[in-house]
Structure 1
């Protein structure tokens, strides 16, 4: 008879490239991908020193660095500023390097250009905006019938107020799920529903052509929402 072996209790599991922990905060996953992105960014900056084609440098960054920072972002998108800033620092470092290559000056000391200005000058958006845009567009595609995901679709409920509420103010498009914990209130799906409700106050997401709608959503996320 074989000897009994105790099963080891694991504290984290890697599934499809995403590090899962019991608390479902994805903090360890974010720290891990930031470390890997920094290593890849260092490689890109070293190997591209002699490049004169800026497009080639962008392609290397998008393929080797930003792809790691965005893979699975719909699932693990952080709501804590600490981890969101951790991701943004990687891209900001590349944006400053690219700005110097394009304009011949380094945007930090002594110029101290704002980060958003530098990103705009090199034609990049914040990673947080891109994650938010990806999830919002995905949910709107579900509502338009352009995506098939019954599991997520059943979590979306239209808000149907009474006439009294309608007269006072424009009601939200989607009902925000009730949350008993802060973690549930800050899930990517709940945040995306709130964002769609804010966007709906500016444009009708059902009355606009989808290509045009996507551009308007990106503009609103960048410049209109706080």
Structure 2
């Protein structure tokens, strides 16, 4: 039981010292690339591009998002690595839908591909999962881990007469300053992302409204 409690605490608050996030991300990306190649090759025989999209979201994107709140990439290079996998799929989807894809250097940007094919970035989906994780812990929805609550602190500001309130004032503040290892773990990242939208998010709102607000903010 003590071992389980210790492991659970590390799972929610601190990254494991025995594993390397960069190694895990590289493994996820490699496996996803192999599956994507399989999807692209075999979807050639399907008549509907919706089937191709469904295969991607079910077999590839789900692998890139599984437990991502734990191993989420911090370095821009790893963020780009994951987005390039989705970009590769979107190029294949565009070619399948339009019958062609412009050759280099007249390529289509990733942003335009996402806009035309209605696909959000993987990064924005990870941010959504982070915010919802924090919301569920805070409101005791399906996640019953009291030990996690001791690491969540609300920043209470006392209004001062004559001073205007800051619109971008943070709502949460980390309750621990153990260095970069803690700052790059799950809950501090979730609180930082929430603070970026704190002026328009109400963590006491009902779950349906809260979800819709986040989706509109992140264009999901």
TM-score normalised to structure 2 length:
0.81
> 1:160 aligned to 2:160?
no
Do residues 81 (structure 1) and 79 (structure 2) align?
no
Distance 1:212 1:117, change over 3 A: farther
Question: What is the 5 A alignment of 1:133-212?
Answer: 133-147=128-142, 148-164=144-160, 167-170=163-166, 171-207=169-205, 209-212=206-209
Gap regions ≥5 residues in structure 2:
1-14
Which residue in 2 is equivalent to 1:216?
213
Unaligned runs of 5+ in 1: 1-19
Equivalent residue for 1:93? 88
> Within 5 A, what are the aligned runs for 1:12-91?
22=17, 24-91=19-86
Runs (4+) off by over 6 Å: none
Give 1:59 shift. Answer: 1.9
Question: RCO (CA 8 Å, sep 6+): is it higher in 1 or 2?
Answer: 2
Q: Which residue of 1 aligns with 2:7?
A: none
Please tell me whether Structure 1 or Structure 2 has the larger radius of gyration of its CA atoms: 1
CA distance in 1, matches of 2:16, 2:136: 30
- The 1:108–1:25 alpha-carbon spacing in structure 2 relative to 1, beyond 3 Å, is farther
Q: For the aligned residues, what is the CA RMSD?
A: 2.5
| Aligned-pair CA distance for 1:180 | 4.4
Q: How many residues align?
A: 203
Q: CA distance change for structure 1 residues 108 and 131 in 2, over 3 Å: closer, same or farther?
A: farther
Q: Structure 1 length as normaliser, TM-score?
A: 0.79
